[in-house]
Amino acid sequence: MTIRPAAEPDVPRIAEMGARFIDAEYPHAVRFDAAQLAATTRQLIAHGLVLVAEAAAGVVGMLALTTYPHPLSGDLIATEVVWWMEPEARGGRAALKLFAAGEAWARAQGATQLQMIAPSDKVGAFYERLGFGKIETHYQRAL
């Protein structure tokens, strides 16, 4: 398994995985738009981080991060945009390799915190095992 920065030729595959991510994790909360995901991916390739996990069969995982200054402290925060492994690629070390590479990038950018998004309690428990603490819960409704 190879972890590498994403490039323009990866964008269609990232959009394909993004559709599965939304369907699996946020089917009633987020509307998927392939063109928007492609534009966001290109923006993050240029000004953030998009990593892919590549196996012999092709790209099977992705992690995208960006940074922003916290509005109250000014501290640079790294935040996850998406972290996804195809179901058939789960259970190995690839997801943790993606995470480690993303964390190293965040540190190199000068980030003081790394925020990850937990779409479920199961994912939240996984993050807690990695040393994360829960800081808030988001609620959403349609307008």
What's the confidence (pLDDT) of residue 77?
A: 97
Flag whether 94 is in a domain. yes
Flag whether 39 is in a domain. yes
Residue 138's Cβ-count burial label (10 Å; 0-12, 13-18, 19+) is exposed
- Rounded mean pLDDT for each run of 10 residues along the chain, 143 residues in total: 94 91 84 90 94 93 96 96 90 91 97 93 91 89 85
What's the confidence (pLDDT) of residue 49?
A: 96
Flag whether 139 is in a domain. no
> Which domain covers residue 36, as residue numbers?
2-129
Flag whether 142 is in a domain. no
What's the confidence (pLDDT) of residue 27?
A: 83
What's the confidence (pLDDT) of residue 42?
A: 93
Q: Tell me, what CATH number does 108's domain have?
A: 3.40.630.30
Within 10 A of 110 (CB to CB), how many other CB atoms are there? 10
What's the confidence (pLDDT) of residue 57?
A: 87
- pTM score: 0.89
Structural domain tally of the chain? 1
Flag whether 118 is in a domain. yes
What's the confidence (pLDDT) of residue 120?
A: 85
Distance CA 124, CA 75 (A): 24
